[in-house]
Amino acid sequence: MSLVGKKAPLFNAPAVINGEEIVENFSLEQFIGKKEVVFFFYPKDFTFVCPTEILAFQSKLAEFEKRNVAVVGCSTDTEETHLAWLMTAKDKGGIEGVTYPIVADTSKTIATNFGVLGGDYSYDEEGNLEFNGAPIAFRGTFLIDKEGVVRHEVVNFFPIGRSIDEELRTVDAWQYVQKYGEVCPADWEAGQDAMKATREGVAEYLSKH
């Protein structure tokens, strides 16, 4: 089920911050009332599509920060594995230079609560616990507002990388709606016309486009 319009699940978990420091109790609650958050999941450290996404977020980090938005990553790997990957050079397949937090969801409870774990636990006929699917996270991305409510989510299957520019566009649209009380039509980008959420507003917008 979608989390849009609902409070983002709470958690406390280890994370690597500033690309070099492990903290034991990282939480998104620190941003409540202060910043919006783009919280994203990726499947595995030391893989293929994942570093392209993580480094793409880093390359646009200043754009998110300019909008007062925190970026936080998460996978089911350990914090030690995160740190090792962060200490590995890009030309060796690493993500050296990434500075935003990366959370370690080793219990898989965060991915489960956000609805992005790639499978499910169940019991076989003999009562043994088993896992069906892949025990790692899909490429889920969540925009969480300053009140801790999810306002946007998108989930990609493992081989499909996400668009960081689309996440920035979504942030811009959400912040525009909050500031001006208008709504953003299809393919809206910052600087373009929005419209009033009335029949007259829609008619006026469509007559110009």
Shared domain check, 66 and 124:
yes
Range of the domain at 85: 13-161
* Domain final residue, candidates 121, 146, 161: 161
Shared domain check, 204 and 103:
no
Shared domain check, 129 and 59:
yes
Q: Is position 176 within any domain?
A: yes
What's the distance, CA 207 to chain centroid? Answer: 36
Shared domain check, 150 and 93:
yes
CATH number for 35: 3.40.30.10
Shared domain check, 173 and 105:
no
Q: Is position 8 within any domain?
A: no
Give every CB contact of residue 37 below 8 A, 6+ residues apart in sequence. Answer: 28, 31, 69, 70, 71, 72, 142, 143, 144
Torsion of CA 109, 110, 112, 113, to 10 degrees: 110
Tell which residue, 142, 49, 40, has the closest CA to residue 93. 49
Shared domain check, 117 and 34:
yes
Shared domain check, 128 and 59:
yes
Q: Is position 150 within any domain?
A: yes
Q: Which residues of the chain have pLDDT under 70?
A: none
Shared domain check, 143 and 69:
yes
Which active-site residues does the annotation give?
50
State the pLDDT at residue 1: 86
Shared domain check, 176 and 111:
no
Shared domain check, 179 and 120:
no
Q: Is position 139 within any domain?
A: yes
Shared domain check, 209 and 194:
yes
Q: Cα separation of 21 and 8, whole Å?
A: 25
Q: Is position 5 within any domain?
A: no
Q: How many domains in the chain?
A: 2
Q: Is position 3 within any domain?
A: no
Retrieve residue 98's tokens.
């990434």
State the pLDDT at residue 190: 95
